A and B are shown apart, each in its own frame.
Chain A
Amino acid sequence: MTSDQKIAANRNNAKKSTGPCSQAGRKASRRNALRHGLAIDIGTIPAFHGEIETLARTLSRGRQEITECAREAAAAELDLTRIRKIRARLFETTYFADTATQDGLADLNMLAALERYERRAFSRRKRALRAIRQTD
C-alpha cells in the first residue's frame, strides 16, 4: 500500500507538472494526440460547413428546406472523399516517397486499419441516402 508520505510527495510533484505554459507551447501540444484526424466528425470542422450545405442543397432538390438527412449524407460524402485522399497520401508517402519507411508490412497494416473510418462513413451515408429516397 502507498504510504501517506509518498502520496503527499506525488501530489507535490504533480503540481510542478502543469504542462506547456507559453501560447506557442499550448498550441503545439494541442496537436499531440492528432495522427490523421479521421476520427473527428467532419461536421464540427468549420472549413467544411459551406461544402456540406451546398451538397445538402443538391440532395434536397425539389424541397424548400434542407433536410437533416441531406446534411448527414453530405457530411458523410465529404468525409469519404477526405478519408480516401488521406489514405492515398499515406500510401504515397509509405511506398513511393524518398522517405519511405523500412517496415512496409506495419505500414500496410496501418493503412488497412484506416479502412474502418471509410466503412463507417459509408454506412452513415447509406442510411441517410436511403432515408432521402424514401421521403422523396
Chain B
Amino acid sequence: MSRSLLAEKPIKPPKELKKFFDDPPLVGDERREDYENLFATLAMTVKPADAIEWMYLGDVVNLTWEIRRMRRIKAGMINSSLEKSRTHRLRTAAYLEELSEDEELTEAEEEEEEEEEEGEAESEDPAALLAEAYCYSSNTFGYIDAIDRQTASAEMRRNSALRELAWHSEARARKLDKASREIIDGEFSEAAE
C-alpha cells in the first residue's frame, strides 16, 4: 500500500453494508489482514459515495483478490515443474557421470565431453529451463489452461464492475450538475423578480 494512502484515515463502508465485507472469501493460507489492506487501499482511491458504489468496490476487491490467487497458483505450478525438471536433470547428470567413471576415455572423447559440458552451461538459459519445465510436466497443461480461463473470466468480471462503477459515478455527477444548475437558475430568477 502506498505511504500517502496509508497516512489518510481509512474510509469504512456504511453500517448497513458492513456485514457484506466482514467475512471475506479467503482460502488456504490467505491472510485477512492482506485482504483488508487491499480493500482499504482501493476504498481510499475510489472514495465510494453511496451503497451502490460500495457494492461495486466490493466486487472489484473480490475479483482482484481472486486474480492474484489464480496467478499465484499458476506461478506455483510452473515453479514446481521447474523444480522437478531440475531434479530430473541432476539425477540424469549424476547417472551419466557414474557411467563415464566406469569407462576409460580417450583424449578425443574427453574433448567431446568438455564441449558437451559447455553446451549444457549454455542451455542454463532461464527461458530454456522454463521451456524444459513445461515439456517435462505436460500433465500440468490442463491445470494451467483451466487456471488461465478462470483468470480471464475474473478479469472480464472485474472490468465489468469497473465500467459499472464509472457509469454510476458519472450518473451521480450528472445529477449533481443538474441540481446545482437548478439552484443557480433559481437564485437568478429570484434576483430578477
A130 contacts chain B at the CB level, 8 A cutoff: yes
Which residue of chain A is the closest to B56 with respect to CB atoms? A129
Taking chain B's interface residues, is the majority helix, strand, or loop, or is none over half, making it mixed?
A: helix
B14 contacts chain A at the CB level, 8 A cutoff: yes
Which residue of chain B is the closest to A86 with respect to CB atoms? B25
> Would B14 and A58 count as touching, CB distance under 8 A?
yes
> Would B146 and A109 count as touching, CB distance under 8 A?
yes
Number of interface residues of B (CB under 8 A): 31
Tell me the A114-136 residues at the B interface (CB within 8 Å): 115, 118-119, 122, 125-126, 129-130, 132-134, 136
Which residue of chain B is the closest to A78 with respect to CB atoms? B20
A93 to chain B, nearest CB (A): 9
A29 contacts chain B at the CB level, 8 A cutoff: no
Given contacts A96-B28, A111-B150, A133-B168, contact A84 B16 (CB under 8 A): no
CA of A133 to CA of B51 in the docked complex: distance in angstroms? Answer: 11
Interface string of B57-95 (1 = CB under 8 A from A): 001001000000000000000000000000000000000
B104 contacts chain A at the CB level, 8 A cutoff: no
> Which of chain A's residues have a CB closer than 8 A to the CB of B171?
133-134
> Would A58 and B55 count as touching, CB distance under 8 A?
no
> Would A126 and B164 count as touching, CB distance under 8 A?
yes
Which one, B51, B62, B164, contacts A84 given CB within 8 A? B62
- What size tier do the contact residues of chain A reach? 35 or more
Interface string of A17-44 (1 = CB under 8 A from B): 0000000000000000000000000000
> Would A77 and B20 count as touching, CB distance under 8 A?
yes
Tell me the B117-149 residues at the A interface (CB within 8 Å): 142-143, 146-147, 149
> Which of chain A's residues have a CB closer than 8 A to the CB of B143?
104-105, 108
> Would B175 and A136 count as touching, CB distance under 8 A?
yes
Interface string of B153-168 (1 = CB under 8 A from A): 1000100110010011
B7 contacts chain A at the CB level, 8 A cutoff: no
> Which of chain A's residues have a CB closer than 8 A to the CB of B14?
58
Additional pairs, 15, CB under 8 Å, beyond known A87-B25, A132-B52, A136-B175? A55-B17, A57-B16, A58-B51, A92-B27, A105-B142, A109-B146, A112-B153, A119-B157, A122-B160, A122-B161, A125-B55, A126-B164, A129-B52, A133-B52, A133-B171
- Offer 8 A-B interface pairs, CB within 8 angstroms, sorted by A: A55-B17, A61-B50, A84-B25, A88-B26, A104-B143, A108-B143, A112-B146, A132-B52
